[in-house]
Structure 1
Amino acid sequence: MLRFSVRHGLVAVLAAAATLAGAGISASAEPYDPGTVPVSQYVPTGPHETASTAATYPCDSLYAVYNAFTPLFGNHSAMPCTRAFPAGLESPVGVNFYYPKDIASMSKVPAVVWIPGFTNNPGNYDATARLWASHGFVVAIPYDFVNSLYEMPIAAATALSRANHDPGNVLHDKLDLSRTVIGGHSGGGGAAIDGASIPPNVYQQIDPEYRIIGAVPTESSPYSTSFLVNVPTLYLTGSADFIVPDFLPRWTEFELNRNAPAFIACVRGASHFTPWDDAAHNPMAGITLAWLRYLVDGDKTAASYFTGAGWKLRGDPVVQYALRNEAADKLPA
């Protein structure tokens, strides 16, 4: 199966991880070309139809309550849910995949690990996961309802490796695990930062090819180990986020990220619930797409939003402010 259920292996993975000590092939994607459209609004569906290992449905229980009040904060679409408990009766622990339907005809594909927010269902991010998959990425969404701790990036790495090495899996030998980007929302954003701080040799005990080359924590919980991160990181915050106000990730994460290039962008009017919205109404989806294309493809147009003296992200009308550290200033344009 494509979906890796932790019922069948995560406990063993975590136990093994606890004992550990201390130039890929381009994705098949169209050139990144937003033209005169602000990067935050550049969310066209990519050239690939997408598939997922878990079907989505209208949300029940806790998530139906979320859908009832998020329009008050500007959301335009109800988020869907999978059947993972408590939205259904399936296991609350696992990893779902989104991928291009035509992956068999593609060269090796980079991976995105996306960790849901605290208590969120993996299906809540269906819209943005499909957007990124349509542009030539495999998106792995690990979940365990808490979604906030180190087991999430470890579970994702394990599931990606198993899929890549399983001859019966549609992803078999199609993943370029050396070009993995990790991100997440809220508590999942904190877990993404922690995942980016795990030493590479730990991941390589899971798979010698596995490398995280960048991170994109979004409205991330301000408790993570950003001072240990050694990969380029883009922190996204929302000016209307009252759960994780933008100054918290800025002070406790961005300002402490001294070992690697770091950026922070505060999205004007974005609430803590914006990442649940459809891609057209989630400015963070388009900004993240640019970040992904810059990191994994070295796309020059995408890079222009983050590198060089005139980096363009600051000029996007939806960005209230954007900052970068000294290491980011030195990145080649």
Structure 2
Amino acid sequence: MRTERLGRGWPTKAGRSLGAVFLAATILAGLAIGAAPAASAEDGFAPGDVPLSRYAELGPYETAQTTATHSCDSSPYGSAVNNTWRFWGNQSELQCTNIFPSGTDSPFGVTFYYPKDITTMSPLPVLVYSPGTGQEPGYYDSSARFWASYGYVIAMPYDLLNSTPEMGLGGVQALSNANKNPESPMFGKVDLSRVIFAGHSGGGGATQLNASVPPDAWHLIDPDVKIIGAVPTEPSPYALGILLTVPTLYLTGCNDAIVWHWYYPMWTQYHTAITVPAYLACIRGGTHITPMDDPAHNPFAPLTLAWMQYLAKGDKDAAAYFVGPNWTLPGDPGVEYVMRNALADRLPE
């Protein structure tokens, strides 16, 4: 194994009560934090000399989404979350939806982001992104639009818990349904053979569980489904790396006081990932809430994009960060240290 380090719609009484519980949990969490095919030129992915974790330029495509977002100021819960996260260091304002707990819409479903011109494009690869436990999709709006602008369909399943295998199952099923629905703008435009799982916190645990499902099992949903990679971000503990079936990039925050980077993400997850190529990158200064910031202040989003571009589109600029003896991710000043296992060492350039 090789290691490289750098420098150091519930308007009911019960619904209101549940909302109060989540509000209290949010405040306590804030206090606890304390501190593939060849790519085409039109993809627009060209960080060049800009360190990748600071690369936050939108891609060439305008985006659309199936769930409207708005300022969190209109939601007591969303406003409390936004103000708490801003107090603890996030630079951008959160966006909210009407999905519970920010609003009163059902907390169960899947929302999509995709290029506005998707009907004129070839089928696009997919990122299935699971939010953190108790978080709603709007909090990740800026990252989802960022990824979609590079020519991806982003499916974001949610069920309030956001932590168990039904996240990926529901996301893939919804993608298959949209791909077969003549009334959907995604009709015939979803490339189910290029699916990547990702998620934050509890959603990072769900990501690993989904990436541990035997590949053939996905064919029960749709025979075209193929999972090609995973990105667990500051993941929850109930997963083991040895069960993974696809190349995996673990992203952790070096200042994360909830999911300590040197604890289970490293020892029971990354270090046990011995059957697939695996990486672990610790984001310098990254806290547990950084993945909800905008990409300009959230290195997790550009690094996730690079992994997507490498696996789903064969982008050579992105590949340079991960493969070959001179891989460049260790030199990015946005990461404090990175690791990759022996199988990743042997990946071709």
Shift of the 86–137 alpha-carbon distance from structure 1 to 2, 3 Å rule, reads same
Residue 57 of structure 1 aligns with which residue? 70
Matches within 5 A, 1:229-268: 229-248=244-263, 249-268=265-284
Which residue, out of 150, 165, 179, partners 2:180? Answer: 165
Q: Counterpart of 1:85 in 2: which secondary structure?
A: coil
Q: Counterpart of 1:197 in 2: which secondary structure?
A: coil
Q: Deviations over 1:226-255 (max 9, x none)?
A: 211111100000011001011121112101
Higher relative contact order (CA 8 A, sep 6+): 2
Residue 216 of structure 1 aligns with which residue? 231
What letter matches 1:58 in structure 2? S
Shift of the 29–132 alpha-carbon distance from structure 1 to 2, 3 Å rule, reads farther
**Alignment partners' CA distance in 2, 1:82 and 1:230:** 34
Name the % identity: 50
Q: How far did 1:57 drift?
A: 1.9
What letter matches 2:175 in structure 1? L
Q: Counterpart of 2:154 in 1: which secondary structure?
A: strand
Q: How far did 1:221 drift?
A: 0.7
Which residue, out of 320, 324, 331, partners 1:315? Answer: 331
Q: How far did 1:90 drift?
A: 0.8
Q: Counterpart of 2:205 in 1: which secondary structure?
A: helix
2:311 maps to 1:295: yes
Matches within 5 A, 1:1-333: 29-59=42-72, 60-248=75-263, 249-333=265-349
Unaligned stretches of 5+ residues in structure 2: 1-35
How many pairs align? Answer: 311
Shift of the 183–26 alpha-carbon distance from structure 1 to 2, 3 Å rule, reads same
**Alignment partners' CA distance in 2, 1:81 and 1:27:** 34
**Alignment partners' CA distance in 1, 2:127 and 2:273:** 21
What letter matches 2:347 in structure 1? L
Are 1:24 and 1:178, in contact at CA under 8 Å, matched by a contact in 2? no
Q: Counterpart of 2:211 in 1: which secondary structure?
A: helix
After alignment, is 27-36 or 49-58 more displaced?
27-36
Are 2:240 and 2:268, in contact at CA under 8 Å, matched by a contact in 1? no
Q: How far did 1:25 drift?
A: 8.8
Shift of the 175–114 alpha-carbon distance from structure 1 to 2, 3 Å rule, reads same
Shift of the 27–211 alpha-carbon distance from structure 1 to 2, 3 Å rule, reads farther
Are 2:144 and 2:154, in contact at CA under 8 Å, matched by a contact in 1? yes
Are 2:45 and 2:59, in contact at CA under 8 Å, matched by a contact in 1? no
Q: Counterpart of 2:199 in 1: which secondary structure?
A: strand
Residue 5 of structure 1 aligns with which residue? none
Shift of the 238–247 alpha-carbon distance from structure 1 to 2, 3 Å rule, reads same
**Alignment partners' CA distance in 1, 2:318 and 2:149:** 17
Q: Counterpart of 2:302 in 1: which secondary structure?
A: helix
Residue 26 of structure 2 aligns with which residue? none
Unaligned stretches of 5+ residues in structure 1: 1-22
Residue 18 of structure 2 aligns with which residue? none
